[in-house]
Amino acid sequence: MTGLVVPARWPLRTMVDSRRLRSYDLVLLAAALLLCLIGALLVWSATRTRLEQAGGNPQTYLAKHLLNTALGTVLLVCAARVDSRLLRLIGPLLYLASIVGLLAVLAIGATINGAHAWIVIGGGFEIQPAEFAKLGLIAALAVLFGQHGVRRPPGTPPGVRELALALALLALPLGLIMLQPDLGSALVLTAASFGVLIAAGVRARWLVGLLAAGLLFAALALKAGVLAEYQLARFAAFTNPGKDPQGVAYNINQAHIAIAHGGLFGQGLFHGAQTRGAFVPEQQTDFVYSVAGEELGYVGSALIIGLFAVLLWRGLRIASAAVGSARLVAVGIVCWIGFQTFQNIGMNLGLTPVTGLPLPFVSYGGSSMFAQGLALGLLQAIHRRSAS
């Protein structure tokens, strides 16, 4: 009887594949994948009954969410193969592309839910360039401070010229986004930029000054009527949810009711009364966390927060092992995802005003999924470079 002859190169190939697999942060990928899969179930639960009642296919949003997840994964894999040393070339290109996208929105964009922030591409799909502007700005700031950091003596903080250039890089997309207006994305841009400034070693007194200037600018913007009426109404509902319970505060109150009904273990997936009755508007996007609160309860909601904690922890580990521009990109991505997660969950719980931000990896939305896939891919590219 003839035995199976194994080619001698197989062990070498297996060893190479194993080494290549270990070059990725598998814990980070697992946390993101679990969030996407949980999101698919929550989106399905939030939309299936409404679509059935309208005579449509109850799996429509589920299929689109899974398609978005698959395309986001493809973008992640492509970005992970990029040599992080090329960030100084890629960063400016990402930034310029995002600016072009934001300008295109103002020229040919569509208004959805009060914001002129989308470009309709047909087939029921839209692109929101503001999502990609988050990554573009982070990459541009990282390149700016990384290149100037090479020229400075070790331990020397960034100078006034670098800080002025950084603020100019922030001001352009921030201004274009506020013209839409999209307050949520503007807040994310600001938070991510501030995280990059801290990681770049900007002096504390300048950071405090920027915070004070930002608060003053926000107060002046409110006085000048920069925000749309519906955005001002959302702030009013946040400070006094009982003022207009059937109007602007309706979403918040219904989300609170749904979460309160969940208790410790929830009412069961697809069995939430508020969710099945479609009482919470925009539940597949802005208020998807209320589905988890009602149907999965405190335990399921805490699991989602725990997965985000793991994802952010792994992102910080990648940042701590990186150097130069790569470290700043990693810090910016962590600040972006961390702040957006806090803001979305906070508005579901009544801790922050409603700003229309989706819950990363969980909420339905193609643009956010694609931008986050690219961001995680860059984190993996940075990790691969540090591990090599």
Q: Is the pLDDT of residue 40 over 90?
A: yes
Q: Is the pLDDT of residue 317 over 70?
A: yes
Which residues, including other chains, have CB under 8 Å from residue 195's CB and lie 6 or more apart?
331, 332, 334, 335, 336
- Predicted confidence at residue 361, as pLDDT, reads 96
Tell me, what DSSP letter sits at residue 217?
A: H
Dihedral angle, C-alpha 82, 85, 91, 92, nearest 10 °: -120
Q: DSSP string of 189-208?
A: HHHHHHHHHHHHT--HHHHH
**Beta strands 125-127; 115-122: pairing state:** antiparallel
Q: pLDDT band at residue 120, thresholds of 50, 70 and 90?
A: confident
Q: pLDDT band at residue 6, thresholds of 50, 70 and 90?
A: very low
Taking a C-beta distance cutoff of 8 angstroms, is the pair 162, 141 a contact? no
Q: Is the pLDDT of residue 9 over 50?
A: yes
Instruction: Count other Cβ atoms within 10 Å, centred on residue 120.
Output: 13
Quickly count helices (H) and strands (E) in the chain: 15, 3
Q: Is the pLDDT of residue 100 over 90?
A: yes
- Predicted confidence at residue 15, as pLDDT, reads 41
- Predicted confidence at residue 228, as pLDDT, reads 65
Query: What is the Cα–Cα distance from 214 to 206, expressed in whole angstroms?
Result: 12
Taking a C-beta distance cutoff of 8 angstroms, is the pair 237, 222 a contact? no
Taking a C-beta distance cutoff of 8 angstroms, is the pair 101, 133 a contact? yes
CA atoms within 13 A of residue 268's CA, in its CB half-sphere: 1
Q: What pTM was estimated for this model as a whole?
A: 0.90
Q: Is the pLDDT of residue 243 over 80?
A: no
Q: Is the pLDDT of residue 2 over 60?
A: no
Taking a C-beta distance cutoff of 8 angstroms, is the pair 317, 380 a contact? no
Q: Is the pLDDT of residue 109 over 90?
A: no
Strands (E) in the chain, as ranges, are 110-112, 115-122, 125-127
Domain ranges of the chain: 27-387
